[in-house]
């Protein structure tokens, strides 16, 4: 259930937060991962097979350890965002947001009136109406729900200054891989043109009241982008496991 969104609080205090994308419908594994010290887990419905029905158990696993459950939804549509939030996550990360109108639509789907048009019912996120009146929950949810918009196309990058003016968006998140494809360099986010656009996005976001987020698959990359002003970092679970496994085997096998 949505109590305090500790990740949103930390960001408001200027702290950096670190999480990982997770796409396995396995609450026990999610709980183990949550215990490792992450600030948040992003349950991935875009690049994974997770559905809203998988989210309830995964969210509970996070809440046991004061780790923020988030969801990357499949599409920027009100019914999808509604179902993932109702299942118990504390915020949504929305891919392929390319225009200001689309960013505004994310906020409208994630917030209750008067800030948006999210449908209201007794759901797990609000304790099914058992823990507080729904009227109180809607006010609190509008404050606590974290809204993250992904910047991962040339079109979105060009409009980023306009995105920073959208009320209700908390984090503008650079997706380097898809951005590289959009700029004509698929799979090569290190290409100078891609790096230049990423830096332009970073400068625009850091100069605003929004938080800069980025996919950071390695500690070195996260450190580099912390120095550029990013404060919301998400890694890939499989990549983290790969790094740990290879480090262990390299050490024990003397490779």
pTM score, whole prediction: 0.95
How high is the pLDDT of residue 255? 59
Q: How far apart are CA 186 and CA 189, in angstroms?
A: 8
3-state secondary structure of 41: strand
Average pLDDT, the chain: 96
3-state secondary structure of 14: coil
Q: How does pLDDT run across 130-142, given as a tens digit for each residue?
A: 988 989 999 999 9
Q: How does pLDDT run across 80-102, given as a tens digit for each residue?
A: 999 999 999 999 999 999 999 99
Q: How does pLDDT run across 147-183, given as a tens digit for each residue?
A: 999 999 999 999 999 999 999 999 999 999 999 999 9
Cα dihedral 65→88→50→10 (10° resolution):
-50
How high is the pLDDT of residue 227? 98
Nearest to 233 by CA among 209, 218, 216, 221: 216
User: Domains, the chain, ranges and CATH?
Assistant: 6-253 (3.20.20.60)
φ, ψ at 36 (rounded to 5°): -85, -5
Would you give the DSSP letter of residue 124?
A: G
How high is the pLDDT of residue 167? 97
The pLDDT of residue 224 is above 90: yes
List, by residue number, the catalytic residues: 47
Nearest to 106 by CA among 134, 136, 71, 140: 71
């Amino acid at each position: 259930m949505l109590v305090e969104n500790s990740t949103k609080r930390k960001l408001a205090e200027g702290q950096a937060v670190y999480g990982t994308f997770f796409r396995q419908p396995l609450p026990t594994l999610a709980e183990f991962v949550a215990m490792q010290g992450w600030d948040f887990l992003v349950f991935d419905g875009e690049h994974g097979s997770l559905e809203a029905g998988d989210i309830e158990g995964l969210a509970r696993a996070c809440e046991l350890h004061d780790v923020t459950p988030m969801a990357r939804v499949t599409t920027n549509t009100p019914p999808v965002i509604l179902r993932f939030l109702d299942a118990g996550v504390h915020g949504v990360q929305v891919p392929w947001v390319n225009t200001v109108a689309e960013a505004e639509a994310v906020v409208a789907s994630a917030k209750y009136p008067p800030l948006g048009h999210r449908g209201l019912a007794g759901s797990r996120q609000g304790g099914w109406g058992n823990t507080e009146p729904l009227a109180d929950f809607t006010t609190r949810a509008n404050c606590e729900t974290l809204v993250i918009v992904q910047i991962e196309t040339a079109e979105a990058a060009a409009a980023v200054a306009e995105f920073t003016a959208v009320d209700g968006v908390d984090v503008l998140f650079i997706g380097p891989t898809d951005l590289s494809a959009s700029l004509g360099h698929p799979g090569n986010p290190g290409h100078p043109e891609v790096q230049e656009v990423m830096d332009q996005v970073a400068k625009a976001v850091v100069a605003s009241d929004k938080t800069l987020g980025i996919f950071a698959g390695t500690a070195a990359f996260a450190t580099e982008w912390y120095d550029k002003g990013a404060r919301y970092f998400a890694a890939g679970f499989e990549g983290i496991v790969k790094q740990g496994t290879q480090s262990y085997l390299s050490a024990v096998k003397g490779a």
